Chains A and B, each alone.
Chain A
């Protein structure tokens, strides 16, 4: 049985049914993205100073992906016009161009931008003394001014919170030091390197610290229960791949983002391929810095990669960009279907029906572009 297709506009709506349907669907999509956008804006406006890491966004990558998506929006409408002009070869050319642009967008997003974040870690410290010791090692004894600049650029590049003086409110031990974990030291003092992903040191136990903390047995008064060996007691079956399992005494860490200049970082770290180090220029540093540092396990209060659980900022960032990327993926699948031989047969049988399908797909694709037009400034620039 074949479903009858009516390409004539209905007198009551003035549209053919498929087009009326896609507009109603897009209206629901506006609700969906509008709600998530509003959540982001509310959380951003109400965020405590020093919690919104937007200064870490790679603006060059964001701008590149914006241009890619703009190009795809133009090619998808050119594909539709080609069908209107009854030029199948031209249609395929523009459709393939759209798919390639869309695919490039996802490759940049999922194979570079997100993984680069998963390989960055924030370390905060147990005491002011331990934080001061590490920052002195990284930036020299007069670290305060440079550290303040990095802090400002990371959490408040547009000086939104300046009047609230976040530096005065946040203790040094709670100011995260960011960078890459390149290795660890075990209980025998032996150094181990961690693996690399996409040229960036990547610790496969990305979630180890969180598991480690979460699965420690607690006393009735919520304090940590220690065993006879003086170590925390872990819940049964919850010690694999954790700090305890590997008996990690310290992590070997390469601070990033402005702690020293780019050339020295590369010279000192060999294969380490850093993400954007936007705050580098003009930050003087003394002799001996730019090397890896060692941070003892007992000095670390929190260790987290830039994963969704890192902070509200990253949770909303991944939600927004992830939801958008899923729409891009959905669009790619539909457009690939339009390039299959079966679509050619539909076109030959009923050219108007197929042209309308392409128009509807195009409307969806332009909506995906529209969302990104607002996502780019909100997430990367503001």
Chain B
């Protein structure tokens, strides 16, 4: 966080914000746990969407307030670093997940890892 804040800001604004984020994290955890224990998820897909949505909210609160990105996001170094990380990571995952998805399409026979040697094409007998 930038240093322009006064001690009063930390006391009156920032510390209550810390407790607020702490409460969000605790409530998020309890909601996810309780939903699972009570068996409210009707399908695997619903469970993923719900649990990941809550996790993203919790993670955003941590990054935004605890890691000071609310105040630091304007700084180009952090923005560039995070931006490059996200782009690189998505690219890297696309290479693996994308290829997996393609190979699992119905009717597609994947022989990537079979290491089957292709038979030598028959060549016509040499003529003198």
Contact = CB atoms under 8 A, between A and B. Distances in A.
Interface string B43-58: 1100110011011001
Contacts of B32: 376-377, 381
Interface in A52-105: 59, 63, 66-67, 70-71, 73-74, 77-78, 81, 84-85
Given A77-B66, A370-B63, A38 B96 contact: yes
Interface string A159-194: 110000000000000000000000000000000000
Contacts of B7: 84-85
Which among B25, B96, B100 has the greatest number of chain A C-beta atoms within 10 A? B25
A223 to B, nearest CB: 28
Interface residues of B, number: 52
Nearest to B46: A158
A15 B92 CA distance: 28
Contacts, number: 122
A284 interface: no
Interface of A: 13-15, 20, 23-24, 27, 30-31, 34-35, 38, 42, 46, 59, 63, 66-67, 70-71, 73-74, 77-78, 81, 84-85, 158-160, 359, 362-363, 366-367, 369-370, 373-374, 376-378, 381-382
16 contacts: A13-B75, A42-B100, A59-B33, A59-B37, A70-B26, A158-B41, A362-B66, A366-B67, A367-B67, A373-B25, A373-B55, A374-B59, A376-B29, A376-B55, A377-B51, A377-B55
Interface of B: 1, 5, 7, 10-11, 14-15, 18-19, 21-22, 25-26, 29-30, 32-33, 36-37, 41, 43-44, 47-48, 51-52, 54-55, 58-59, 62-63, 66-68, 72, 74-78, 81-82, 84-85, 88-89, 92-93, 96-97, 100
